[in-house]
Amino acid sequence: MLVMADPVVAQAALDRANEEKNLLVVYQPIHEARTRRIYAAEALLRQRRQSGEIREASVITEAAEAGPEMFALDSWAVRTAFRKAAQWHSRGAAVRINVNLSPREFQEGNVFQRLESLVAGCGVDAHMINLEITEMSHIDKPEETMDVLKDLKKLGVELWLDDFGTGHSSITHLQRFPVDGLKISGEFVKGIVNDPRSRAITRSLVALAHDIGIRVVAEGIEKQEQLDLLLEWNCDYIQGFLFSKPMPREEFETLLNIGTGAP
């Protein structure tokens, strides 16, 4: 979810897409489990429909899968999030910004260079960025991936495995790559109260992460009983509708107790 090769062309495509499709970036808080302090915000791309309803923008990105526009949309979302985060930081809010890195970024190459210029252009502190990564198994060159990830870490960002335990986000990645944390998929979390398997898996994933010295976000928490168990297992961070849904920027800034004015 980074920037296209030609920034002028990319920006024009974005402005158009943005106008036509009413895109917006929403922010979902990630809280520190023990204190409930807001630790980070995950930036998510959404589409505002004429009715005013806001929905997931995956339809747009899927439709654009064949062309470069998907990157344009994603990079617009990331740039928006980075710019906002820079403003929050300048107003004294110590909140990290989580962005989702598309697996296609690795296929396109130059991930490090593109991220570096995006970070510089937005004036955001790279040490406040969490890159959420999935599906690294699509990458056929593990050595090159390793080099890119090491470079990214030198830039100062943290690397988090998203949707851990589902699809292609696997234990091999924990073994091979220098990740800082993992996000346990809501698919597991939703069963922890009633399904002994989901409970055992989630508890073990938290313990596994801690044993190798990394941190954990549990995603998709919707019920108090789920939170109680996660606290008992010493899960580090929590994200889900029980605390906060993804929200427009203004609302998130109100939560942070800061205002940044114009979009």
By three-state DSSP, how is residue 240 classified?
coil
Question: With CB cut-offs between 5 and 8 Å by kind, which of Mn ion, ligand G, none does residue 119 bind?
Answer: none
Pick the binder of ligand G from 186, 214, 229, 238 (CB under 6 A): 186
Pick the binder of ligand G from 161, 240, 252, 253 (CB under 6 A): 240
Nearer to Mn ion, 168 or 260 (CB): 168
Provide the greatest CA pair distance for the chain.
Answer: 53
Give the binding-site size for ligand G (rule: CB under 6 A): 15
User: Residue holding tokens 């920027």?
Assistant: 249
100 contributes a contact to ligand G by CB under 6 A:
yes
Please count the other Cβ atoms lying within 10 Å of the Cβ belonging to residue 203: 17
Contact pattern for Mn ion over residues 61 through 100, marking x by CB under 5 A = ---------------------------------------x
29 contributes a contact to ligand G by CB under 6 A:
no
Nearer to ligand G, 56 or 144 (CB): 56
Piece of the chain touching ligand G by CB under 6 A; list 3-11, 17-25, 88-96, 216-224? 216-224
Nearer to ligand G, 77 or 221 (CB): 221
Pick the binder of ligand G from 121, 207, 241, 250 (CB under 6 A): 241
116 contributes a contact to ligand G by CB under 6 A:
no
Nearer to ligand G, 74 or 163 (CB): 163
Pick the binder of Mn ion from 69, 74, 105, 132 (CB under 5 A): 132
Q: What is the 3-state secondary structure (H, E, C) of 134-151?
A: CCHHHCCCHHHHHHHHHH
Q: What gap in Å lies between CA 198 and CA 188, rounded to an integer? A: 5
CA dist 136 to 69, 74, 105, 132, Å?
22, 18, 10, 11
Task: Assess contact for 180 and 160: CB atoms under 8 A.
Answer: yes
Q: Which of residues 37-56 bind ligand G (CB under 6 A)?
A: 44, 56
Q: Counting Cβ atoms within 10 Å, is residue 51 exposed (0-12), middle (13-18) or buried (19+)?
A: exposed
Q: What gap in Å lies between CA 252 and CA 246, rounded to an integer? A: 9
CA atoms within 13 A on the CB side of 130: 22
Residues making contact with Mn ion (CB under 5 A): 100, 132, 162
Residues making contact with ligand G (CB under 6 A): 28, 44, 56, 100, 162-163, 186, 219-222, 239-241, 246
